[in-house]
């Protein structure tokens, strides 16, 4: 047995050794929150109902650990968005007088990235690897397909986007390619051997270009831990306390990542709500939260049920809505707010146009009653459900924002600028190199391939020894038509490094990029050149936060990979009504919520319910409905059209969603909507 020996860290000069917060935990938390926050060591499952103060419980748990002598360096806080991690750490910083810089807090991907930057060589990568976002992955897969010799013109072969989703789902769920193709893409089943071979080729290309995709940021640390027990032990000793947010959304890889790090002491607290598990389509495994008590022997369960968001009438309806699900931890949301004396509205309308007119007119009335536009949301199961509503809001001059718009960091012009920086940071980045050269007139796909081979043949000298990009690139053979742009590109790259060949800070690069070859490219490529230029000026301001180019590029890639919309170019400057799918509304709240198209076959979605042998699809649809209704704080409107004009079927009589039928009628007030000229 090894001898136990504890090293006492020297406290920061700014924080006395005996420092503690002045938090009165019992006074500042309700009884059930207090029980979870002060839980003893060991595994703990916190079921935090909608609007019950989940974030508060987690942040106070971190503060409680710190107050009881746990070093920040021994705490790992895992979240699903960078925004959630920032908010929690900011709140903890406001609660306690400790230096939190050594506390690891962030998304699974960002923590995985941090580990891989330290240990990439053990897996065959260099620490300066670049992260492929969706578009980069598509390009590398296209290159792999071309190199494989597969004749995609005569054979119906999956597109790179489909392959990327297929590979990702296989990695995150542990399901084999053969089984996944058979279940999701049966028309490609005869191509499984080629698809599997292509996955291996793609893996080799990532290694060759010193790149990783988002799935690697989860899968590679796990592989590292399995292959190198000494490295696993290092992190197990460091992370004595692990806290996980939104545990119901974890997939197989994420659950195993937690399990490995938590062993053997298992001081892991997971917080989530099984009733809000709605992401199985992207690999989330509902069983992780349901079976947590079985996987962790002796796990304590805490159920936090007091809801601070919604009025009692909405909560009573929400409890009734989720009750029919058989696979769940039973709980009853209890209101902290007084009765509003108004029940949620059930609103059948004549047709989708009338439904849209009702929503728009009621929004204007709510505005007159003192509810601002940005406190109102229209939620739907599928994006096409919002078409008529968008038209009606536009006709009536009601500003709105659609959360399903392309995320800021995924837009082409932002990715183009990032390519300049990526090549300077990682000279082996094939995707960045080819993206840049294909911007130039006279250079297509084959020309880009030839120039890439010539670039590789140059030996890719290290930053410290490269005389300048132009001294190498201007020796390459390019078509006369492309020569002026090629020279301008070479000189632009020269401006992105200092005299020693090291990358300049990202904000300092922006004027050179915009004033060089890229501005001319934007003018000829985009009709809304001025708008895109303003976007890039905003990007420059964002870049001012970073001195290190590698950290900036990592954040760009992580932000582009977020499923939740955290920063978009579509955020309206003035207050706007939010139009959102229910999936994208999770975690948000509004004073008034309209849930539309609550018709059978629409919500629940018929494609999910049809062929649902074990009922799991229907139960997830019901959880999705539960998420929708629990977004509302004060007013809730449940609407559906009685008639729908199908493209091929003519007028179709709509039945109300079974979810509405399951709710006792006395919990809703039916509105009879008429029309007049």
Q: Is 246 a catalytic residue?
A: yes
Active site residue 248: no
| 276 part of the active site | yes
Residue 236 catalytic? Answer: no
Catalytic residue among 276, 492, 555, 584: 276
Which is the catalytic residue, given 245, 249, 274, 375?
A: 245
Distance between CA atoms of residues 244 and 558, nearest Å: 19
What is the Cα–Cα distance from 165 to 563, expressed in whole angstroms? 14
DSSP string, 498-557: -TTSPBPPHHHHHHHHHHTHHHHHHHHH-TTHHHHHHHHHHHHHHHTT-S-HHHHHHHHH
In order of 365, 578, 592, 634, 674, the CA distances from 369 in angstroms are 6, 18, 12, 13, 22
Task: Provide the sign of the torsion angle of the four alpha carbons 220, 225, 228, 233, taken in this order.
Answer: positive
List 38, 55, 199, 488, catalytic entry: 55
- φ/ψ of 52, rounded to 5, equals -95, 5
44 has which bridge partners?
A: 269, 300
- Residue 135, number of CB atoms within 10 A of its CB: 17
Of the residues 216, 246, 274, 634, which is catalytic?
A: 246
Q: Calculate the alpha carbon distances from 473 to 6, 155, 456, 489 in Å.
A: 56, 38, 11, 9
Q: Is residue 373 a contact partner of residue 575, using CB atoms and an 8 Å limit?
A: yes
In the set 206, 362, 623, 631, the catalytic residue is 631
Which residues on adjacent β-strands are paired with residue 345?
A: 637, 669
Distance CA 235, CA 222 (A): 12
| Pure H helices in 19-104 | 25-28, 31-37, 54-67, 82-95
Q: Residues 79, 85, 91, 96: is their CA dihedral positive or negative?
A: positive
Neighbours of 2 (CB within 10 A): 4
- Taken in order 31, 32, 37, 40, the sign of the CA dihedral is positive
**What is the Cα–Cα distance from 385 to 371, expressed in whole angstroms?**
24
Q: How far is CA 218 from the centre of its chain?
A: 14
Which of 32, 33, 54, 430 is catalytic? The answer is: 54
Give catalytic status of residue 55 as yes or no.
yes
Task: Specify whether 38 is catalytic.
Answer: no
Catalytic residues: 54-55, 245-246, 276, 631
């Amino acid at each position: 047995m090894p001898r136990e020996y504890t090293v006492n860290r020297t406290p920061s000069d700014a924080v006395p050794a005996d420092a503690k917060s002045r938090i009165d935990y019992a006074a500042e938390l309700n009884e059930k929150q207090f029980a979870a926050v002060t839980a003893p060591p060991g595994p703990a499952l916190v079921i935090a109902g909608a609007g019950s103060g989940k974030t508060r419980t987690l942040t106070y748990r971190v503060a409680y650990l710190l107050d009881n002598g746990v070093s920040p360096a021994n705490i790992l806080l895992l979240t699903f968005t960078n925004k959630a991690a920032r908010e929690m750490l900011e709140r903890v910083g406001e609660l306690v007088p400790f230096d939190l810089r050594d506390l690891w807090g962030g998304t699974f991907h960002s923590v995985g990235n941090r580990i891989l930057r330290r240990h990439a060589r053990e897996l065959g990568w260099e620490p300066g690897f670049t992260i492929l976002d969706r578009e980069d992955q598509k390009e590398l897969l296209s290159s792999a397909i071309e190199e494989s010799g597969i004749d995609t013109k005569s054979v119906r072969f999956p597109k790179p986007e489909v392959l990327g989703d297929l590979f990702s789902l296989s990695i995150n769920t542990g399901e084999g390619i053969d089984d996944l193709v058979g279940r999701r893409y049966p028309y490609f089943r005869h191509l499984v051997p080629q698809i599997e071979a292509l996955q291996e080729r793609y893996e080799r290309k990532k290694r060759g270009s010193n790149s990783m995709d988002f799935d690697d940021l989860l899968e590679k640390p796990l592989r590292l831990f399995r292959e190198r027990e000494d490295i696993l032990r290092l992190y197990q000793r460091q992370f004595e306390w692990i806290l996980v947010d939104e545990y119901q959304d974890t997939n197989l890889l994420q659950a195993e990542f937690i399990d490995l790090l938590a062993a053997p002491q298992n001081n892991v607290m997971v917080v989530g709500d099984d009733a809000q598990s709605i992401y199985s389509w992207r690999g989330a495994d509902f069983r992780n939260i349901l079976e947590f008590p079985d996987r962790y022997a002796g796990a304590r369960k805490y159920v936090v049920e007091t809801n601070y968001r919604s009025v009692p009438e909405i909560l009573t309806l929400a409890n009734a809505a989720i009750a029919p699900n058989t696979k769940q931890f039973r709980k009853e949301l209890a209101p902290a707010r007084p009765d509003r004396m108004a029940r949620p509205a059930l609103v059948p309308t004549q047709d989708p146009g009338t439904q849209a007119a009702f929503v728009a007119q009621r929004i204007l009335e709510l505005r007159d009653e003192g509810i601002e536009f940005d406190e109102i949301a229209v939620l739907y199961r599928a994006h096409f459900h919002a078409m008529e509503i968008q038209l009606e809001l536009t006709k009536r001059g009601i500003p709105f924002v659609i959360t399903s718009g392309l995320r800021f960091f995924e837009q082409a012009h932002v990715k183009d600028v990032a390519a300049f920086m990526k090549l300077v940071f990682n000279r082996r980045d094939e995707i960045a190199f080819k993206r840049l050269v294909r911007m130039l007139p006279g250079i297509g796909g084959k020309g880009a391939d030839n120039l890439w081979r010539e670039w590789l043949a140059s030996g890719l000298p290290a930053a410290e020894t490269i005389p300048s990009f132009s001294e190498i690139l201007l020796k390459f053979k390019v078509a006369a038509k492309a020569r002026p742009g090629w020279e301008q590109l070479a000189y632009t790259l020269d401006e992105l490094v200092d005299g020693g060949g090291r990358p300049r800070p990202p904000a300092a690069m922006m004027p050179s990029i915009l004033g060089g070859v890229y501005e001319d490219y934007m003018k000829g490529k985009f009709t809304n050149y001025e708008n895109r230029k303003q976007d890039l000026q905003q990007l420059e301001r964002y870049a001012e936060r970073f001195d290190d180019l590698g950290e900036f590029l990592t954040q760009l890639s992580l932000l582009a990979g977020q499923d939740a919309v955290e920063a978009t170019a579509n955020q309206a400057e003035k207050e706007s009504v939010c139009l959102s799918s229910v999936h994208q509304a999770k975690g948000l709240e509004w004073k008034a919520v309209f849930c539309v198209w609550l018709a059978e076959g629409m919500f629940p979605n018929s494609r999910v319910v049809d062929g649902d042998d074990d009922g799991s699809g229907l139960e997830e649809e019901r959880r999705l409905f539960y998420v929708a209704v629990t977004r509302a704080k004060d007013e809730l409107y449940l609407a559906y059209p009685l008639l729908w004009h199908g493209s091929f079927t003519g007028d179709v009589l709509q039945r109300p969603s079974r979810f509405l039928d399951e709710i006792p009628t006395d919990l809703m007030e039916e509105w009879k909507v008429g029309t007049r000229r």
